[in-house]
Amino acid sequence: MSPLLASSQTGSIAVSLAMILVIGVGSQWLAWRVGLPSILLLLTAGIIAGPWQGWLEPDKLFGDLLLPCVSLAVALILYEGGLSLKVSELKKVGAVVRNLVTIGAAVSWVGSAAAAHFVLGLSLPLSSLLGAVLVVTGPTVIGPLLRHIRPTGAVGSILKWEGIVIDPIGALLAVLIFEALVIGRASEAAGSAAISVAQTIFFGGGIGAAAALLLTLVLAKFWLADHLQNAVSLMLVIAAFTVSNLLQEESGLLAVTVMGFVLANQKKVDVAHIVEFKENLQVLLISSLFVILAARLKPDALTAAAMREVVFVVLLILIVRPVSVFASTIRTKLSMREKLFLSWMAPRGIVAAAVSSVFALKLAEKGYAGADRIVPITFSVIIATVGVYGLTASFVARWLKLAESNPQGILFVGAQEWVQQVASLLKEKKFRVYLVDNNWENVNEARMHGLPTYAGSILDEKLLSTIDLGGIGRILALTPNDWVNSLALKRFEHVFGKANCYQLPPEEDTLSRRKEHGHIHGRLLFDDAATYDAVRMREFDGFTIKATRLSEEFTYENYQERYRQSAMPMFVIDAKNRLNVITAKDGFTPESGHTIIGFVKERKRPEPSASKSTKPAPA
């Protein structure tokens, strides 16, 4: 090959790789801007760039490295999912999750396989394999959807646990069925299946737990420099996945999930920085994977979708999933509304796409007729379920009264007396509030006022799994410690978004340090002078929290004049009953029909002089 041709080929590869990253991350950004599920735009972009326009040819680009790279990326995604699983959540949802990944998985497998056989016309063996692939839901899809919907009650935790735990189970089921297809004889297949299950649990669970304990030991003993911790964590995940798969095929997914779970629930070392790194890495992996796998689809496979595929997907959504959920929630404390919402949330994601691609290729190599249909059918299900659930789940959650379209409630960090007054007034106005404080006196007083509280630090590990954030869309850090406020917002910015994280302005002695560390601070509340001490001084000086409604006759200028410019507006409830938080830089001006909530000091009316008329003043 001539140097010029080699250079041209290298440049073409570089352009394709850059295109994958640009399309993937760009689709993620666009999805965030327009409020659509990111996977929907990722799949659409991949189909446009691949089978439609021919810009991307992943098989030619990656060659034999494609499926191994996909498998490693899926392993990292499941590891990140395992890091989000907390044992404390199982106290409320453990029984339901257990049933969903056992009884529910069995119902989903049988139902999906039956539909594939009778509706799509696949053979029983291929239908069984496809049913196993479609058992898995999509944690990469469910996670962003739950963050967007923010449902109340236990359904969020249930869906998160199911989506992560079901993936290795579905992959294992697919392996067992694949082995049965290869062996062919029922008696030998049953024995092989039993051995495979035992080996998967032994090798996958054991290696995953060992890798987590090793990483914990290394971190606890300070055997690693800080800048190497994420890299070593990544190395151990890949090593655990690879070794486990070498010892038992497809057991690596269980290994990385167990590794993440064990690491997340140990108490010896802090792994928050590892979790944050994996979350950022997950965005890049998901962005690239969905574009690559969608681009692999053949144009004729996309145009061949017929009424049978539509009927198949409808059966999965309207019959198989609801039956699976209701069979798994018999004799549980879930309400009918929660069961219905669970029944309407089973999008398939990257694991289904990757597993179907792997097994379809293996079956095609062994000459199985119809194996080439598995991948297009799986992608049809992924696109359809993501589209249906992604576009309707938020509406369904609101219809079932399990979520709000734009959560207006506030999580208060600090429960001082003036904060209690604010929270009580907002609660009267029908806004959801929650107070967190480690001062028991403040907590007890807040509880006596009927305010929901959490007694403990805002940084407590179990906080997120304990409190119900349904209806809450913002966090206000109001403690006297500026750094505690900043850490609280840093922890919750992935829950509420940076735009909804607020804190009091710093005192003068921390102002210079703030300029150096401004990237870890939130939006400044009220005005630049509204420091903790300034607010407390107002409280001691007789200011009170009051709601004042503006009108054409009583404008904002009248409001300021009445309180001699000393009022400190904190919130404004607009004409559409939306709660606006006043910040130091937004320049928000209340209008007629708005209600201002803030610190005010009523002026005392002068006492009438004895020499003057004692006629009473007008009311």
Helical segments of 35-153, H only: 38-47, 58-62, 66-82, 90-99, 105-118, 124-133, 139-149
3-state DSSP assignment of residue 523: strand
* Residue of 271 and 466 predicted with greater confidence: 271
560 Cα distance to chain centroid: 43
* Residue of 161 and 148 predicted with greater confidence: 161
pLDDT in tens, 533-582: 888 888 787 788 888 888 888 888 888 778 766 778 888 888 878 888 88
**pLDDT confidence band for 405 (50 / 70 / 90):** low
Residue 95: Cβ within 10 Å count = 15
N-to-C CA span, the chain: 97
As a whole number of angstroms, the distance between CA 570 and CA 273 comes to 34
54-58, 291-295, 336-340, 521-525 — most confident range: 336-340
Q: In this structure, which amino acid lies at residue 348?
A: R
Strand-pair category, 579-581 with 433-437: unpaired
Strand partners of residue 434: 411
Among candidate residues 27, 245, 236, 241, the one with its CA nearest the CA of residue 144: 27
As a whole number of angstroms, the distance between CA 75 and CA 481 comes to 40
pLDDT in tens, 237-259: 999 999 998 888 778 888 888 89
Q: Are 64 and 374 in contact (CB under 8 A)?
A: no
As a whole number of angstroms, the distance between CA 215 and CA 260 comes to 11
Q: Is the dihedral of CA 531, 418, 412, 481 positive or negative?
A: positive
Among candidate residues 41, 51, 49, 44, the one with its CA nearest the CA of residue 303: 51
- pLDDT of residue 296 exceeding 50, the answer is yes
As a whole number of angstroms, the distance between CA 94 and CA 397 comes to 22
* Residue of 141 and 243 predicted with greater confidence: 243
Q: How confident is the prediction for the chain on average, in pLDDT? A: 81
Please report which helix (H) or strand (E) contains residue 312, including its range: helix 307-315
Domain 10-399 CATH assignment equals 3.30.365.10: no
3-state DSSP assignment of residue 521: coil
DSSP 605: P
Segments making up each domain of the chain, as ranges: 10-399, 409-600
As a whole number of angstroms, the distance between CA 518 and CA 512 comes to 10
pLDDT, position 198: 82
Ramachandran assignment for 33, one of left (phi > 0), alpha (psi -120 to 50 degrees), beta (any other)? alpha
The domain 409-600 belongs to what CATH superfamily? NAD(P)-binding Rossmann-like Domain (3.40.50.720)
**pLDDT confidence band for 472 (50 / 70 / 90):** confident
529's tokens: 């002078």
164's tokens: 């992560």
pLDDT, position 597: 86
65-69, 94-98, 194-198 — most confident range: 94-98
**pLDDT confidence band for 211 (50 / 70 / 90):** very high
Tally of CA atoms within 13 A in the half-sphere of 45 that contains its CB: 24
**pLDDT confidence band for 615 (50 / 70 / 90):** very low
- pLDDT of residue 304 exceeding 50, the answer is yes
As a whole number of angstroms, the distance between CA 11 and CA 609 comes to 92
pLDDT, position 316: 93
Arithmetic mean of pLDDT, 271-290:
77
Strand-pair category, 501-503 with 544-549: unpaired
Among candidate residues 554, 545, 546, the one with its CA nearest the CA of residue 591: 554
**pLDDT confidence band for 515 (50 / 70 / 90):** low
